[in-house]
Structure 1
Amino acid sequence: MLWIQVCKDDELVDGQFRIVENEDGDEVLVARAEGELLAVLNECSHDRRGFDGGCIEAGLLVCPRHGARFCLRTGKALTPPAYTDIATFPVKVEKGIIYVQA
């Protein structure tokens, strides 16, 4: 897996996320939640669509269509209608730039 540049560290504030694409065409969602940088696959396990239009509440990623909640730290599906966890990815900051390994 390669490290993909996401954005400048100061451009991603708490409660926001950015979506980047890896070399295989998969989308990865990188979020700052409760001061921590976290990354998950940008695909709800319930309907296989992305989280665009969703939000972060109390460190959880909320699907915009059916309200399923996922733990950003573990990718665990926490509420129906999602029952399957989603993949997580390492995140780092170097020289003020956020990177995700995906």
Structure 2
Amino acid sequence: MGCTKPATHWWSSMFNYTAFDESKAEFVEIAPASELPNGERLFVEVGDKPIVIFNIAGQLFAIGDVCSHDEGPLGDGDVEGHNVVCPRHGAEFDIRTGKAVAMPAVVDIPAYPVQVRDGNIFVGIPKE
């Protein structure tokens, strides 16, 4: 009688951003880790990619700084748990994965691997 499949939204598999293989990333040095204290965010551009890096409870996460719904500045939005809320229309994205988790966005955004080495933040960008 019960449904054995987990409930999903109709858009959940339409436009998924597929994370790239971290071993194929080129890691770019961004800034000293001391410049990104807990609860803060750092805006950077790597090549032509606007990226925002979040420090959430000591863990660093990097996502594309452009909402897939209307190209709003995601990094300016509020953070609720591990979600960032676009300040324009309220679309939400998981900063760990880039997954669109609330309408009106249905397209995921890029999420980039982050490393801290020798006290410096590095973000992994797909090799071109």
- TM (norm. structure 2) is 0.71
Structure 1 residue 63, shift from structure 2 partner: 0.9
Residue number in structure 2 paired with 1:16: 40
Consecutive unaligned residues of structure 2, counting only runs of 5 or more, are 1-24
Residue number in structure 1 paired with 2:84: 61
Q: Max radius of gyration: which structure?
A: 2
d(CA) in 1 for partners of 2:80 and 2:39?
7
The question of whether the paired residues in 1 share the 8 Å contact of 2:72 and 2:88 is answered with no
For 2:44, the aligned partner's letter is V
Residue number in structure 1 paired with 2:63: 40
- TM (norm. structure 1) is 0.86
Residue number in structure 1 paired with 2:10: none
d(CA) in 2 for partners of 1:76 and 1:84?
8
For 1:63, the aligned partner's letter is C
List structure 1 runs of 4+ shifted beyond 3 angstroms. Answer: none
The question of whether the paired residues in 2 share the 8 Å contact of 1:62 and 1:68 is answered with yes
Consecutive unaligned residues of structure 1, counting only runs of 5 or more, are none
Structure 1 residue 64, shift from structure 2 partner: 1.2
From 88, 92, 98, the equivalent of 1:75 is: 98
d(CA) in 2 for partners of 1:73 and 1:53?
17
Q: Residue deviations 1:18-48, cap 9 Å, x none? A: 121122x111111112321111111101102
Structure 1 residue 4, shift from structure 2 partner: 2.3
Q: Number of aligned pairs?
A: 101
Residue number in structure 2 paired with 1:7: 31
Hey, which of these two has a bigger chunk of helix by percent? 2
